[in-house]
Amino acid sequence: EIVAAIQQALAAGPLEGKRIVVTSGPTHEPIDPVRYIANRSSGAQGTAIAEALRDLGAEVVFVTGPATAPRPQGVQVIEVESARDMRAAVMGALPAAAAVFAAAVADWRVTSESGSKIKKQDGRLPVLEFAENPDILREVAHLQDGRPGLVVGFAAETDDVEANAVAKRARKGCDWIVANDVSPETGIMGGTENAVLLVTGDGVEPWPRAGKDVVARRLAERMADALSKG
Amino acid sequence: EIVAAIQQALAAGPLEGKRIVVTSGPTHEPIDPVRYIANRSSGAQGTAIAEALRDLGAEVVFVTGPATAPRPQGVQVIEVESARDMRAAVMGALPAAAAVFAAAVADWRVTSESGSKIKKQDGRLPVLEFAENPDILREVAHLQDGRPGLVVGFAAETDDVEANAVAKRARKGCDWIVANDVSPETGIMGGTENAVLLVTGDGVEPWPRAGKDVVARRLAERMADALSKG
């Protein structure tokens, strides 16, 4: 922690004085007091991005769901559980120069949440009712007032990665999409490496498979370039 | 690890030479490649029980779902994900002198599991279909051939803890139930302490609230007593 604080203090990097919000990890959507629906996300890529932005001098606000990855040092950490909690934390952290939405937010929450543990009774199966969660990326990208200058979304896909990512960028109104293939056979989800496509207004760049820390540094440098021109 | 190995080597405890299966942690039941349903369980109580049994000389087989608690040292660890995986691992670990089912096994799995990530489409909500998971405790407690001499189940309840635990012992056919109140306000789930009721054929004993390691040692000692008489 001390080392991280010194590193940050010494950094007079290109992101000095810029506040950047980074979301990371899964969200948990409660079914009852003991059960929940979750997304698989270790938080490793989001944590690496927060660290890389910090190392370039940014003032990072790190909004994380219940992730297994250790929290980054030298940044402000806000712990949340559900998508709605995450939305509130992100809105509270704005305004910011940029926002990176690396969290695997649950698309749906359970509206039939039970205050008591649902009991198993002979032959009866649970019926869960769902509602769409707030779409934090889309909401922030469409802010009329106080939209961050650079809004970066993530797309975790198992099919048609490029086409889905390009469509997602347009649909969400964000500036960039970092897309990856999370099919189990890639070993990316829960692993230490990532292979991404960066989708911007200029086109689609495939980045070589590399450690999540390397991908994070490259993204942070690209963000610093873009913000210095903005 | 070395310390644990030496401790175990030096232990000529009352459970020397006895094989004991301990399950721990949550199970994860997949919805699609990136989503799953889980139970809240850190695995802390099951891990402490495995350690306490090891310290009394038992040969412990520790079957754990994806828990956040560090794995116990000096025992055989088998990592599983779903309830069906856990059942297979437990059956493969028998015969044993005793079995302790501390895992928070999902009662249901999703039979409508999708091989691809379910996409959010305008206004469409997911429909999940469920089936009951195997009831590992009940199955082991009813084994005609090779039933462990002492079968211990857990009951995590939010309401009517004692009545539910007594009924569960009869319904499952196990010897003991360790019951606790996992209502959020108790702070037990995910915490370091536990307050349990031990339900045996002789009645119900409330144990004082104590560290999960203390509860584990007390349970291990009771198990050693019971097995020495059996």
For residues A112 and A128, the answer to whether their CB atoms sit within 8 Å is: yes
Task: Measure the CA–CA gap between A37 and B154, rounded to whole angstroms.
Answer: 23
Higher per-residue confidence, B131 vs B2: B131
SS3 B130: strand
Which residue shows structure tokens 């937010």? A105
Taking CB atoms and an 8 Å limit, are B116 and A158 in contact across chains? Answer: yes
pLDDT of residue B82: 96
Interchain CB contact of B36 with A (< 8 Å)? yes
Task: Measure the CA–CA gap between B180 and B113, rounded to whole angstroms.
Answer: 32
Interchain CB contact of A38 with B (< 8 Å)? yes
Which residue shows structure tokens 């520790």? B62
- What Å distances lie between residue A16 and A12, A212, A224, A228, CA to CA? 6, 23, 10, 11
Which residues in chain A are contacts of B65 at CB distance < 8 A? none
B136-141 own/partner pairs: CB under 8 Å, 24+ apart: B136/B23, B136/B83, B136/B86, B136/B87, B136/B90, B136/B101, B136/B105, B137/B101, B137/B172, B137/B174, B138/B171, B138/B172, B138/B173, B138/B174, B139/B87, B140/B90, B140/B94, B140/B99, B140/B101, B141/B172, B141/B173, B141/B174, B141/B175
Tell me the residue range of the domain where A85 lies: 2-115+126-229
Which residues in chain A are contacts of B108 at CB distance < 8 A? 120, 125-126
pLDDT of residue B113: 83
Both tokens of residue A219? 């993204």
**Is A153 part of any domain?**
yes
pLDDT digits (tens, 9 = 90+) for B144-177: 999 999 999 999 888 899 999 999 999 999 999 9
Of the candidates A117, A157, A159, the beta carbon closest to that of B157 is on: A117
Which residues in chain B are contacts of A156 at CB distance < 8 A? 34, 117
pLDDT, mean over chain B: 91
The interface pTM score, or ipTM, of the predicted complex is 0.81
pLDDT of residue A7: 63
Residues 107-126 of A with CB under 8 A from B: 107-108, 116-117, 120, 125-126
Interchain CB contact of B210 with A (< 8 Å)? no
Task: Work out the pLDDT band at B11, boundaries 50, 70, 90.
Answer: low
Domain total of chain A:
1
Residues 6+ away with beta carbon under 8 Å from B29: B36, B37, B38, B82, B83, B106, B108, B109, B110, B133
Task: Work out the pLDDT band at B8, boundaries 50, 70, 90.
Answer: low
B39 is catalytic: yes
Residues 6+ away with beta carbon under 8 Å from A92: none
Task: Measure the CA–CA gap between A58 and A56, rounded to whole angstroms.
Answer: 6
**Is A121 part of any domain?**
no
Blockwise average pLDDT, block size 10, chain A, 230 residues: 65 89 96 90 95 97 95 97 97 98 94 83 77 95 96 92 94 96 80 92 94 96 92
For residues B31 and B114, the answer to whether their CB atoms sit within 8 Å is: yes
For residues B197 and B207, the answer to whether their CB atoms sit within 8 Å is: yes
Residues 6+ away with beta carbon under 8 Å from B154: B45, B101, B102, B103, B104, B177, B178, B179, B180
Residue B66 pLDDT > 80: yes
SS3 B43: coil
SS3 of B88-127: HHHHHHCCCCEEEECCECCCEEECCCCCCCCCCCCCCCCC
Q: Which of B113, B117, B119 to mutate to test the interface with A (most CBs of A within 10 A)?
A: B117
CATH code at A28? 3.40.50.10300
- Position A157, amino acid: E
For residues A197 and A207, the answer to whether their CB atoms sit within 8 Å is: yes
Residues 6+ away with beta carbon under 8 Å from A37: A28, A29, A31, A106, A108, A110, B31, B35, B36, B37, B38
Task: Work out the pLDDT band at B230, boundaries 50, 70, 90.
Answer: low
Average pLDDT on B198-207 reads: 96
Cα nearest neighbour of A128 on chain B: B128
pLDDT of residue A11: 56
Average pLDDT on B138-149 reads: 96
Cα nearest neighbour of B31 on chain A: A37
Taking CB atoms and an 8 Å limit, are B120 and A128 in contact across chains? Answer: no
Q: Identify which of B179, B198, B153 has the alpha carbon closest to the alpha carbon of residue B23.
A: B153
pLDDT of residue B116: 84
Which residues in chain A are contacts of B131 at CB distance < 8 A? 125
Which residue shows structure tokens 């310390």? B3
Average pLDDT on B58-75 reads: 96
Of the candidates B36, B131, B159, the beta carbon closest to that of A40 is on: B36
**Is A120 part of any domain?**
no
**Is A139 part of any domain?**
yes
Q: Identify which of A37, A130, A39 has the alpha carbon closest to the alpha carbon of residue B127.
A: A130
Interchain CB contact of A190 with B (< 8 Å)? no
